[in-house]
């Protein structure tokens, strides 16, 4: 059964007189004269038939979700004049995070978070698994790239003054995301359990212990006890895999929602020309 084309996807009819007539200049259509016109007509008909399938599928979805207005507003919204390549840093950071999540899932299939087996499982993954070293390298260097991009993005927003009204809440969410990213880097670093990981984590946990009164308790929470023990690695693994990625995903959702709703700023060296012209006219 052929469903009617949804109103959002129906092509608007062309303005009268803007297109050349389909049947040459014959009135009331006569017999199709040239071979070229026949071929063109055939091609146009084939194109329409080919497009019917995806359009009706989309129409099926749209009737059941009502999402066309939202998608239209999101995809075809206007971005301000002068948006340049600096504005791509935010989505590049998102992409680096997605890279970490995907490579992290693959690594999690081979890794064992126990103090006695973490190192051997990592070594097995790096040396014996096909593309294991490559995926692990992508995860490790992806972390560096993500930290760099996060700081570049923050710097761009700062120097463009894009944290001012009405985007203050977005900035706050962004700073929390920065802190969570550094926490991911800290917890993930312990997991291979080689010398560098172990000692960097010992120092990091003791840095937390240096806070007056509450510090040692915070260190106990991170370590799972007063000494580096059996549950420390599992804690770091759970925090790195489940707790913080969940928070990051939720906050990225909020961050992107605000970006789409409030819009990205125009570069600060652009002034709205029309406003000045209007103001001059008024005077």
Partner 1 sequence: MLGAFEGETVTRRRFVTGGALAAGGVATAAIGLPALGFALGPIFEKTTHNPWQDVGPESDFNPTSYVPRVITLVPEVGEAGKTTIYVRKATPDDKSPSDKGKTPLPYVAISTRCAHLGCPVRFVQAAQRFICPCHGGVYDKFGKVVGGPPVRPLDRFYTRVEGNRVQIGPRFSVNSKLERFHPRDPSNHIDGLWKYLYPSRPTT
Partner 2 sequence: MDKREKEQYLREYGILKSQGKPFFPYAIAKDGTMALITVLVIMLLSIILGAELGPKADPTTTSYTPRPEWYFFFLFELLRVIKPPALVFIATIGIPTVCMVLLILLPFIDRNPERHPARRPIATLTGVTVIALMAYLTVEGALAGAPGTITLKVAPQYAKGKAVAASSGCQGCHKIGENGNAGPGPPLTHIGSRLPRNAIARTLVNPTAPMPSFVNLQKQHPDQFNSLVDFLASLK
Query: Cβ distance 184 to 191 under 8 Å?
Result: no
User: Does 136 sit near partner 1 (CB under 8 A)?
Assistant: no
Binding mask 204-223 for partner 2 (x = CB under 8 A): x--xx-xxx--x--------
CB of 129 to partner 1, least distance (A): 24
Nearer to partner 1, 99 or 231 (CB): 231
Distances (CA, A) of 259 to 91, 173, 253: 11, 11, 10
User: Does 74 sit near partner 2 (CB under 8 A)?
Assistant: yes
Nearer to partner 2, 185 or 251 (CB): 185
Per CB under 8 A, contacts with partner 1 among 222-241 are: 223-231
User: Does 247 sit near partner 1 (CB under 8 A)?
Assistant: no
CB of 256 to partner 1, least distance (A): 28
The whole-angstrom separation of Cα 280 and Cα 259 is: 33
User: Does 198 sit near partner 1 (CB under 8 A)?
Assistant: yes
Residue 144's binding partner out of partner 1, partner 2, none, with CB under 5 to 8 Å set by partner kind: partner 2
The whole-angstrom separation of Cα 69 and Cα 132 is: 44
For the chain, the maximum distance between any two Cα atoms, rounded to a whole number of angstroms, is 95
Nearer to partner 1, 159 or 199 (CB): 199
The whole-angstrom separation of Cα 87 and Cα 66 is: 31
Residue 257's binding partner out of partner 1, partner 2, none, with CB under 5 to 8 Å set by partner kind: none
The whole-angstrom separation of Cα 266 and Cα 241 is: 37
The whole-angstrom separation of Cα 189 and Cα 184 is: 8
| Rg of the Cα atoms in the chain | 29
Instruction: Single out the segment in contact with partner 1 by CB under 8 A; choices: 1-9, 74-82, 181-189, 220-228.
Output: 220-228
The whole-angstrom separation of Cα 97 and Cα 99 is: 5
Selected from 8, 54, 69, 166, the binder of partner 2 by CB under 8 A is: 166
Residue at token pair 């698994």 = 129
| Residue length of the chain | 283
Selected from 23, 88, 117, 234, the binder of partner 2 by CB under 8 A is: 88
CB of 24 to partner 2, least distance (A): 35
């Amino acid at each position: 059964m052929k469903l009617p084309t949804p109103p959002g996807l129906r092509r608007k009819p062309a303005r009268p007189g803007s297109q050349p007539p389909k049947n040459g200049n014959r009135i009331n259509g006569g017999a199709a004269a040239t071979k070229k016109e026949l071929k063109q007509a055939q091609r146009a008909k084939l194109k329409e038939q080919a497009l019917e399938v995806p359009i009706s599928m989309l129409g099926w979805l749209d009737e059941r979700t009502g999402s066309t207005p939202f998608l239209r507003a999101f995809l075809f919204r206007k971005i301000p004049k002068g948006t340049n390549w600096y504005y791509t840093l935010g989505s590049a950071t998102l992409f680096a995070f997605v890279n970490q999540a995907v490579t992290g899932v693959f690594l999690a299939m081979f890794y064992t978070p126990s103090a006695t087996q973490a190192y051997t499982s990592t070594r097995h993954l790096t040396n014996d698994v096909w593309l294991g070293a490559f995926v692990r390298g992508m995860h490790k260097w992806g972390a560096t790239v993500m930290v760099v991009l996060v700081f570049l993005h923050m710097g761009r927003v700062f120097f463009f003054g894009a944290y001012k009204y009405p985007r203050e809440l977005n900035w706050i969410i962004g700073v929390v995301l920065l802190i969570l990213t550094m926490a991911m880097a800290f917890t993930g670093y312990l997991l291979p359990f080689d010398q560098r990981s172990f000692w960097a984590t010992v120092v990091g946990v003791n840095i937390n212990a240096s806070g007056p009164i509450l510090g040692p308790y915070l260190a106990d929470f991170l370590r799972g006890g007063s000494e580096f023990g059996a549950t420390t690695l599992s804690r770091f693994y759970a925090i790195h895999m489940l707790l913080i990625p969940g928070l990051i995903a939720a906050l990225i959702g909020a961050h992107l929602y605000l970006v789409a709703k409030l819009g990205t700023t125009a570069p600060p060296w652009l002034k709205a020309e029309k406003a000045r012209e209007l103001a001059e006219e008024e005077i």
